[in-house]
Every structure is written in structure tokens, then in C-alpha cells.
Amino acid sequence: MKLKIIEPKLALNKAFLKEKVLRNDFDIFKKNLNLLLKNTYDEDSEEHDKGNLSNFLKETYYEDKYYINTKENIDLAINIDKSSKSSVGVIIEVKKPSNTGEMIDKNNINTRAMHELVLYYMIERFIHKNIYIKNLIATNIYGWFIFNAQEFERIFYNNKSFLKLFENWNNKQTIDKTTNFFYESIVKPYLENLDEEIEAVHFDFRMYKNHLESDNKENDNKLVSLYKILTPVHLLKESFANDSNSLDTKFYFELLHIMGLEEAKEKSKKVIRRKFEGKREQASFLENAINIIRVENRLSKLKNPENFGLDEDEQLFNVALELCINWINRILFLKLVEAQLLKYHKGNKEYKFLDYSKIPDFDELNKLFFQVLALKNNDRIPSLKEKYEHVPYLNSSLFEISTLEDDIIRISNLDDNLRIKTLSNTILKDRQGRRLNTELHPLDYLFRFLDAYDFTSEGSDIIQEENKTLINASVLGLIFEKINGYKDGSYFTPGFITMYMSRESLRHAVVQKFKDKYNWDIDTFDDLKNKTIQACKTKDIKDYNDIMNSLTICDPAVGSGHFLVSVLNELIAIKSELGLLADKNGNRLYDCEAHVENDELIFTYNNGLDIFEYFVAESYVNKVPDKIQKIQKTIFHEKEKLIENCLFGVDINSNSVNIARLRLWIELLKNAYYTEESMFDELETLPNIDINIKVGNSLISKFNINGKSNLTIGNRDEIRNYKKSVIEYKNCTNKKRKGEILKYIDNFKNTINENQLHIRSNKYHIYKELLNEFTKKFKTININPIFISEPNIEYNSRNENNKNEKEELEAKIIKIKEEIEQEELDRKTIYRNAFEWRYEFPEVLDDDGNFLGFDLIISNPPYGVSVKNKIREVVKKNLDNVPDYEIYYYFINLAKILLIQNGIKSLIIPNTILFNVYAYNYRLSMIDSWNMIEIVDCTNFPLFSKATVRNVITIFKNNKDFVNLNFYPTKDALTFDSLISREKKFVNSDILKMYNQNWGLIFKLDLSILKIIEKIKNKTIQLNKEFPDISQGLIAYDQYQGQTEDIIKSRSFHSNYKINDEYKPWLWGEDIKKYIIQWNQKEFINYCDDIANPREPRFFNGNRILVREITDPTIFAAYTNQEMYNDPSMIIILENKKAKIKLFSLLGIINSRLAIFYHHNSSPKATKGAFPKILVKDIQEFPLKVSNNSTKKLYEVIEKNVKSIIELKIINFKADTSHLEKEIDILVYKLYELTYDEVKIIDPSFELNKDEYDKFKMR
């Protein structure tokens, strides 16, 4: 085995490497490390060194948060939390400095220290079943070798031959049981013969001696990577400040307070709402806005009040909230702009502008929005030009007056005389360091609050002197997402999910795009990389970039835009990986690489050692070094092209759409650059990307989305002009021209709506015929027309001829007219938020206006919502039937329609898709209609904080060439990282169909188990073919059957004694034992006509089997022929005298180990929750071997043994019948033709050896 050395900087998560270190934390590290090295001597014992090292780690990083101690033979173990009983996360082997023979070095890994790490890892993984180990370390205090646990998992634990060697040694089956034998005779030769590399982070503290002893703070930067490499963030993979997977709750709750909102739990959801009346702050943004709108009756100006609620209070809240979200979005965006400017200019305070001294009132803030940010520098009035000389013009429609502001109020209308009380646990402090307890102007409060956080603290190897919490674009993204989902209690999608889905699905889409263009024989991303990396001509690089830039990706439930941001990041990283990150001339960016880590796009240079950062050089006046300028400029325009050409989104919530646009602007802002033309004085303007993210209901469309349709929405010139207008709009900086373009686009779409594709009721044609008939006979009619294209007739006059016929015909016309008008009214309601995929995105239309489709649909669609009423009918018509009318299935069907042929769909949806009983046929249809590439089953762990729904990630291709479905084995996977670190496996469509009742079992079970299940089902019939009468018990009480509350509460039909002969024994679930019933003798029921949900009396009389519904996982089935009654917690199987298989034989099979094994590994409810169940459907579909000459004798002997058991149990319930039950198990194994090895998988404690089993003969 070879050792591959990784430098600490290269090993660190790039997003973590980018983050600053607090000065106080760093000084503690430096002081403690110097003390550790000072107290380390060659002659010291290992115990002495272990103690010193433990103290160093505790006092520097782990005290009070993580337990550190020895464990068994492990020198030091760091647990995953502060409990001594928690799992080990880091294993450390300590050698004294003088023990060079046993310590790993760069040229020799096959040493005792390595052998010991292997042993401790295998003990933790194999014996203790520990899946939480993150790193393993060998150190002699000076030198360190840190191994990622995934390397040990791959090389040792996942190697079947090595695992078997360890298992034999651990079970004392080897010639020598000592650890020395394991080291010398197992690990050492294994490593010697292994032709593989293992990566390890290596450093030696002695190499940094000068920096450690120096008081020069400049030298401290050289030690930052060493500080970070030993933190819990790296060693235990804990989250860190800019992690897009966790919300900064302090920031979030105080921002809500300033806005006038609070988070509260309503039913099972956490929602954001207006504070209750007694808690409201009149100076908060929301209350201030509501008051002005109400007092000045501004709601009367609202053009579409129904969109904001059903009554005035609801409309007031929603209008004010939308305005407030828009204002806060602008301010947060400006805070990031300010932070960016400060970063570019090395903290020069002249570039700070969000300050109460500069913006003392709402009127001044309004000026900043619309007279500064919205205007080019030369167009600003002199006073504002001077005051905000460093505030750039960015050309963002974020700083254009919105329709709602134009109709209702602007921020300048808010009352400046009100003061807001600081939050009780505010982050703000007074001069004595106490929490600030006062009242402030809301702008003063907001600006102070934002200044209390660090929006600029990301940087390469920099130490942050001031202790401020980091709030960057990723963290803000989560804040936006939470506030945005205020109505639904929606959950933000964690960054590790959006990152994974973007990475996996985009690579499939990119490969397909190149295949389609060049007809290359490539299947994987690596295949494509081998092609593109060889490109040496700038023309080829530009051509390949054009292909990448032609990808079309859409999120039809875009929310706050998180997926689109992740997709953008991943597209840049893919370009970098393919060698296509290049300037506009096709010149590659050498020595600059893009990485996505923690859902953050990070650029490195100097072989990955340094983080790229844009800055204005201090040695020049407003000058940026050429190389830095080229990289920043290229990145900006690459992002710009991808956002303009590739990224599209739709959401029904207008607030969502605004936030999604904002997040994409923020991504561009990160790489904003000073233009050479302005002598590095002005930033490059942002494009108008708002046109790519639109408001609408993705599931409702008037027009069919049909990529193959010849439906023409205009002539070629009109289509060309429409496309050109959209392109022109994206880069237009002239407000007047932007307005003209938008007007043209709206007119174009209105023309399509009103003339060519106008939808009318089928009744309209009947109406027209009746009108024509009437006018031919009577010339005139006295009713108002519906449509302007009706016959030109004279109204309001009467013709008295044929009066009866005329009145009858007139009545028909009026009736159908009223029906049409009602339908039109319903249609307006249903289609109010309709989104017309057919033409809204010209980027996916061909030159004739035909819809082509997107290359990738990626989304976290809504779920837990059933589409209802008239909207259901429209959605059904467009998107077909789906199980339960659950909304996420409709998004799957929508993706099918929206995608091009071979396009990719990547959705995160509930895991119910795997096992929902009502989705049985839907799953089969997916096999037939999709090429299912991958399903990631995350059932074992929650992906969304505090959500009860468990999820799966699906990646499908839009063709029918399905071969194999890839998946990660889910058994014992308790985190997303541990799941996706496993080796992928695959199954074909036959296995999916066989397990169609529950696909989750495929992902959980070993292949050996799947094969046994398949074998059990071979040559069988379903149980209900032989025994058709199967039912659950009766339901005695049900409020929906008209029973009173008194009847239900008192259980009127039950009694704890036998009142009369009408009262019969009532069974409890626990009464059902194996083979016989042991009635509780405590409860009776009067089976009368008033029972809520009765069953036929035959189900409670005669020969039958009762199966207890709850399993553990044992199945309990008993025989009875007595009159006894039961509820649905027991399943009844009636004897069928015509059956070839006898009832007692069936009872033996149901109680057998084979049946338990089959049920546990095939039923959707067998392993679900605290109360696993066997369902009626499970029993109906249980596979029974066909009774024929070869099986008849086995069935007879099983029946005989069952009868013997029952006879013995009737005499003495506690009679030992285990020998008979074990024989039944063997007979059932033989009945289903299982081999000895298969039996041992079902029952590892099976007592017979192979020879005894093979020679077993029936008595």
C-alpha cells in the first residue's frame, strides 16, 4: 500500500477554509500548542504524552462539548458529543517521539501504529456497529497523519476477504488469538500486497516552530490551516458558520421582531404570523405599514384584492407583508453590496453607507432606493451623488418601484415618529456590555442589528479580530426561505440536498447534451471529461461552452430559488472540471479552479492552496491586478450567461419569485467587478434576470404543453421578435426602453390568449346555433350578448309571431347563456394564476413557436396537499390521474411533459412513493415510462428539521430505455453523508416489479435476501386463490355512522360480564397466541343491528384462522371454531372446503419462521414505526406452494403436526410444543425448496447442520 500525502489546506472543506478564525480562539490554540510542544520530551512515556495531548485538545477545542478519553485499547477517542456513552467519532493512536519504529512515516505506512488503527476501526465498525467514525489519527505529538474514515471503510471494512479474516480472528477461529498475530499475520501482509493508495493529511508542528514563537500577527496567518485541521468542524465534520444546512436562529428571530412578525406553532406546523395584539410594536415595519394603509384607505387602490385574502384584515396583512418583505430584501441586498465594497477596499469605511447617520428616516431610504440605486452615477442629483459617491448603480429591477408600491405605499410613507423596543435577548449591547434595553427608530435598530453581524468575514487564512457571527449569502438564503414560507410552515431545503441533486442530475444532463450534439460514444461524466479536457483550440472551447450555455434547467416550484443557486454553482464547477472555464475569447483560466463545497461555490488557485479573492490594489489608485481582474470578470460573465440562458423558475407565490430573483442577483454580486472603462470606479451592471423567474401555478395551464405539437402561436417573424425582445430586455439599462419591451411582450402573449388560443365552453357552439336559429326565425332577441363575435342582431325589440315557440327558444338561449357565464366565472377563478408553459419561456420554443422542453427539471415540489374541487378536474385533464390526488405526483407528471426527450428529472419527494398502496399501479407506470437512473431512499433519517415526512431523491431520464436503477443500500444508514458514501448497487425492472408493493425493501435488503424472497414466490399461487374469504373484524363504534357520543364513550354494546345469551365472547389482540386462542374472559359483545360497521356473521363462526395484526416481528395465528367476535386488530381467514390446501396446513405455514421472514422482508408495514403490522393485503397475497404430487405429502405432515400442537395446547396451554414447531419450520423450508445456506440466512440459529438438513425425512 502507498501513502498519498495531502497538505492541511487541501484537506479542509473549501468553504471552511474560506472562513475567518476568531482572534481569541486562535490565541488559545497558539498558547496551548506551545505548551504541548514545550512539555513533550523524547524520553516521556506514551501515557504522559496521551495526557498532554488530551488536555491540549480539550482546552483548545472540545471542552464541555465532546467527550475525550481512552476507550478499551484506543489511546484517545473523541466522541460525537459530550456523553461518555456516545459513539466514537475520532480514533487517535499516540506514539512517543522516540518510538520511530512503530510510528507511520511518509515512506512507510506498514507500521504498528497503522495496524492498531486498523484493529480499532474494525472493532468499532464490526463489533460495536459504529457508523459515526469520521477520522483516524496516528501522532507522536510532533508529526500527524490523519485518515478519513471513508478510506478505512473502503480499503478494510468493505473488502470481503479482509472482513472475513478479521471475523475469523475475532471469533477465535485462527491459529493464534492474540492482537500481535492480527497485526503481523493479517494486517501486515494485507497491506504489503495491497496495490492501492490511501490518502492522509500530514503535517509536523516542528516545521512551524518560528511562526508559533513569533509575536508578529502576520505570521499567524500561516498557522490558520493547522488550527482548522484539528477542529470539530474537520475531525468530526460538524457544521460551521456559513453552513447552508442550518439556520442562524438569533438573527432570524430578531429580524422577525423588527419586521413585526413572530414564529409560532399552529397545529403541527411552524408558521410566521403577525404578532398578537398585546405584543405588537407599532414602529415595526409591518405594523407601521398596516396603519398607513388602513388610515389612508389605500386598499381601495388595489386592483386584485382577491389575490391577497378573503376579507379586509387578511388583505391588510398580506399587502403590508409583501411590501415589507420587498423592503427588507432590498436592505439585506444592500448590506451585502456594502460588505462586498468593504471587502474589495480592505475595510475602507468610506464605502460604508447603511448607517443611521446617513439614512436617518424612511424618506432618505426611499431616495437611496429610487434616486441612487436606480440611477446611473451621472443621472443622480449632485447632493445625492456626493453623499453616496461610492454606492454603485447595478441596474437591478429590485430598485424599481413595484406595482404594489405604486398602488399602495412606498417606504417613505411610513411614520418616522415611532420607536420600537429592542428584543429582550437582542444581540445589541450597551457600553457596559449589557443587552440594550431601549426604544429606537426602526432604521436605527435595523442598521445597528445588521452591523452586529459580520457580512464580510470570509477570507483566506485571515484572523478576525472582532467577535461577530457570520451572516453570508447562504445563511441569508435560509432566512429568505423561512420567511417566504410563512403561510405553509414550509421547511427550507438543506444545502447538502440541493448540492447533491444538482451535482448528480446536471452531470447526466450535460453528458446527454454533448452526446446529442456530437454523437459521441460516451456514457459517463468521466468519458465526457476525457474528451473536453483534450481541447487545445480556443474555437473548440468556445463551442463546448456554447453547448453548456444552451442547457435549460427549470424549477417549477422555485420557492426562494435555492435549487437554482445550487445549479448555477454546479454548472460553473462542471465547466471548471471539464476544462471549459474560459474568458469570452476561449482562453482557459489556468491555475483557477471552481469547487462546490457545503453548497458554496469557491475558487482556488496555486494548486488549490489559496482562495481566490477580488480586491483593489492598495499600491495603485482604483487599480485591480490584471490576473485578478481577468478571473473575476470571467466568473461574472460566466454566471451571467448561465443565469440568462439556462435557469428558469415558476412559483405561485409572488414573494417567492421576488426572493428567487434576489438570490440570483446576490450570486452575481459575489463576482461583481470594477470596469476598465470607468477607470475602475464603477461596478459592472447586473442583467434583468427577473424575466426568467415568473409567478404562476405550474399545474394549471389553459393550453396543452405538447413538445411535438404543430400548434403555431404566431408566424416566424413574430416568434423571432418575441425571442429577440426577451434577450434585449435582459441586458437593457434604459428604463423607458425596458417598459416598451415589457409592453410588447405582454401584448404578444395577450394576442395569443385572446385570438388564436382562446378557450371557450363546448356549450358556446350550441349557444351560437340557437342564436342563429332564433335570428333566422324571429330576427331579433332581447338579451345581452356574451361575446362580441355574436351575430349582428337588433336587440330590445320583440316579434309577436309564433309566440310560444319564440319564448321556448328564448328560454333555452337564456339558460345556456347563464351556464356559459357561470363556467366563464369558474374558469376565471381556476385560471386566475394559470401559467402558460406553452409560450412563457421563448428559450424553449423553436423558430415556429413549438414547445421543445427543458433539459432538466429539478425541484422540491409541495406535498401533503390534496388537489381538490374544480381545480382537480383541470389538473387531472392536463396531467392525468394520480394516487390520492396528492400534489407531488402531479409534479412528476408535469416534469414528464416539460422535459425534452432524454431530459433529466430530479425531485425530492415523500418516501410514500415507494410503498403507498394506492400508488401500486403508478409505480408500475414509472417503470414503463421513465428510464429510472437513481433513487436515494432517505427513509431512515429526516432531511428537514422537525419535519415528520421522510423523503427520497429521484433522478429519472425521459425515455423508456430503462435497464437498471441505481441506489445506495439503506440498511443502518442514519445520516445522508453515511448513505451516499456507500457503494451504489443496482436492480433491474423485474426486481422492481416483484417488490412493487414496497421498493424501500429493495434498498434495505441484501441481495441474498432478495433472492430468497424471489425463490419463495416461485411456483406459487396467492393465498386468497385458495382461501378467498379474508376480512378484518367489525368496528363497533363510529361517530360517522350516526352513533351518539354517549354510545361511543360508554361502549354500549360491550359488557364485562355476560348479561344474557345475546352477549358473546369479545377477543383482544393479545388473546391470539400461536395456534390457539386464550380468551381474556373479561369482555362480551352484543352483536346487534346497531353495530357501526358489522361483518357477516359467518366471519365469527365456524372453522377459521385469526391472525393478530400487530407483529413483533413474530406472526401470531390461531385456529378456532367457536362463536367469538373481534375488531380489526385481528384478521380472519375462513376455511374453504374446496381448497386443495387444508386450513391446518395453512396455519402451520403462517406461524412458521419462513412466513415471518417473508412478511418482514416484503410488506410495507412490517418494519414501520413502533407497531409493525401484517395487513389483509399481505395475507391475501402471501405465496402458497401449489398442492400437487410433490408437495402433497409435505402439506399433510404439516397439517398433522399442527393438529398435534393444538391438541396439546388445549389440554395444557403451557405445553412444550417446540419440537413440533421446529419440525414444521423444516417442513415449510422443504416445501419452498430452500437450500441449507438459504435457511441459515432466514434463521442464523438453525440447529441442524447441512448434512442433517439435506437428509431430513418426514415422520
Domain final residue pick, 970, 1004, 1038: 1004
Instruction: Give me the pLDDT at residue 480, please.
Output: 74
Instruction: Give me the pLDDT at residue 808, please.
Output: 85
10 Å Cβ neighbour count for 1062? 12
Measuring CA to CA, which residue among 1019, 974, 975 is closest to residue 1184? 1019
Cell, residue 438: 431601549
Structural domain contains residue 1017: no
Measuring CA to CA, which residue among 82, 93, 133 is closest to residue 117? 93
pLDDT bin (cut points 50, 70, 90) of residue 781 is low
Residues 857 and 974 in one domain: yes
Between residues 267 and 1206, the one the model is more confident about:
1206
- Whether 293 has a pLDDT exceeding 70, the answer reads yes
Between residues 461 and 1005, the one the model is more confident about:
1005
Backbone angles phi, psi at 241, to 5 degrees: -55, -45
Residues 991 and 1032 in one domain: no
Please check whether residue 113 is in contact with residue 86, taking contact to mean a CB–CB distance below 8 angstroms. no
| Contacts by residues 1156-1161 (CB-CB < 8 Å, ≥ 24 positions apart) | 1156/1111, 1156/1113, 1156/1114, 1156/1115, 1157/1012, 1157/1242, 1157/1243, 1158/1013, 1158/1016, 1158/1182, 1158/1183, 1159/1111, 1159/1113, 1159/1115, 1160/1111, 1160/1113, 1161/1001, 1161/1005, 1161/1009, 1161/1013
Structural domain contains residue 486: no
Measuring CA to CA, which residue among 554, 551, 556 is closest to residue 580? 551
Residues 775 and 878 in one domain: no
pLDDT bin (cut points 50, 70, 90) of residue 792 is very low
Structural domain contains residue 792: yes
C-alpha 155/C-alpha 998 separation (Å) is 33
- Whether 169 has a pLDDT exceeding 60, the answer reads yes
Measuring CA to CA, which residue among 854, 483, 478, 485 is closest to residue 666? 478
Residues 896 and 812 in one domain: no
Of 514-518, 602-606, 731-735, 1203-1207, which range is least confident?
731-735
How far from chain centre, in Å, is Cα 996?
24
pLDDT bin (cut points 50, 70, 90) of residue 485 is low
DSSP conformation class of 863:
-
- Whether 999 has a pLDDT exceeding 90, the answer reads yes
Block residue for cell numbers 496521551: 50
Structural domain contains residue 425: yes
Average pLDDT, the chain: 90
Residues 222 and 294 in one domain: no
Instruction: Give me the pLDDT at residue 710, please.
Output: 42
pLDDT bin (cut points 50, 70, 90) of residue 766 is confident
Structural domain contains residue 1133: yes
> What is the domain range of residue 93?
2-235
Give 1139: exposed, middle or buried? Use CB within 10 Å, 0-12, 13-18, 19+: middle
Instruction: Give me the pLDDT at residue 937, please.
Output: 97
Mean pLDDT across the stretch 282-303? 95
Measuring CA to CA, which residue among 779, 899, 906, 486 is closest to residue 654? 486
Distances 188 to 109, 118, 167, 333, 599 between C-alpha atoms, Å: 10, 10, 17, 59, 40
Domain final residue pick, 201, 235, 269: 235
Instruction: Give me the pLDDT at residue 791, please.
Output: 42
Mean pLDDT across the stretch 697-715? 69
Residues 550 and 414 in one domain: no
Mean pLDDT across the stretch 727-748? 90
Residues 123-135 as b or e (16 or more Cβ within 10 Å = b): bbbeeeebbbbbb
pLDDT tens-place string over residues 45-77: 888 999 999 999 999 999 989 999 999 999 999
Is the link from the previous residue into 1113 a cis peptide, with omega within 30 of 0? Answer: yes
**Residue 1119 host element (H or E):** strand 1117-1120
Distances 572 to 269, 547, 1045, 1074 between C-alpha atoms, Å: 37, 13, 64, 63
Distances 1070 to 947, 1078, 1106, 1174, 1203 between C-alpha atoms, Å: 33, 8, 12, 15, 22
Number of domains the chain is built from:
6
Instruction: Give me the pLDDT at residue 793, please.
Output: 41
pLDDT tens-place string over residues 847-901: 888 899 999 999 999 988 778 777 888 888 888 888 888 899 999 999 999 999 9
The HSE-up count of residue 1218 (CA atoms within 13 Å, CB side) is 3
Domain final residue pick, 945, 976, 1004: 1004
Instruction: Give me the pLDDT at residue 361, please.
Output: 97
Angle of helix 1153-1160 relative to helix 1218-1231, nearest 10 degrees, comes to 60
Residues 1040 and 989 in one domain: no
State percent of the chain over pLDDT 70: 94
pLDDT bin (cut points 50, 70, 90) of residue 272 is confident
Residues 333 and 432 in one domain: yes
Of 131-145, 557-571, 779-793, which range is least confident?
779-793
Structural domain contains residue 468: no
Residues 322 and 441 in one domain: yes
pLDDT bin (cut points 50, 70, 90) of residue 137 is very high
- Whether 783 has a pLDDT exceeding 70, the answer reads no
C-alpha 976/C-alpha 1153 separation (Å) is 33
pLDDT tens-place string over residues 310-361: 899 999 999 999 999 999 999 999 999 999 999 898 888 999 999 999 999 9
- Whether 489 has a pLDDT exceeding 70, the answer reads no
| 3-class DSSP state of 1064 | strand
C-alpha 838/C-alpha 287 separation (Å) is 41
Mean pLDDT across the stretch 362-384? 95
**Residue 563 host element (H or E):** helix 562-577
Between residues 1232 and 1045, the one the model is more confident about:
1232
Instruction: Give me the pLDDT at residue 564, please.
Output: 97
Structural domain contains residue 1011: no
Instruction: Give me the pLDDT at residue 103, please.
Output: 97
C-alpha 974/C-alpha 978 separation (Å) is 7
Residues 279 and 225 in one domain: no
Instruction: Give me the pLDDT at residue 790, please.
Output: 45
C-alpha 1008/C-alpha 1244 separation (Å) is 14
Mean pLDDT across the stretch 404-432? 95
Structural domain contains residue 224: yes
- List the strands of the sheet with 88-94, edge to edge: 2-6, 197-204, 143-148, 135-139, 88-94, 74-79, 68-71
pLDDT bin (cut points 50, 70, 90) of residue 795 is very low
Beta bridge partners of 987: 965
Q: Which residues contact 487 (CB under 8 A, 6 or more apart)?
A: 271
C-alpha 297/C-alpha 285 separation (Å) is 18
Residues 992 and 1033 in one domain: no
In CATH, what number is assigned to the domain containing residue 1162? 3.90.220.10
- Whether 1147 has a pLDDT exceeding 80, the answer reads yes
pLDDT bin (cut points 50, 70, 90) of residue 758 is very low
Instruction: Give me the pLDDT at residue 707, please.
Output: 43
Q: Where are the alpha helices (DSSP H) in 236-311?
A: 249-259, 285-295
- Whether 522 has a pLDDT exceeding 90, the answer reads yes
Instruction: Give me the pLDDT at residue 743, please.
Output: 92
C-alpha 935/C-alpha 933 separation (Å) is 7
Instruction: Give me the pLDDT at residue 621, please.
Output: 60
pLDDT tens-place string over residues 934-956: 999 999 999 987 677 899 999 99
User: Global pTM?
Assistant: 0.85
Cell, residue 918: 394506492
Residues 1175 and 1059 in one domain: yes
- Whether 1155 has a pLDDT exceeding 80, the answer reads yes
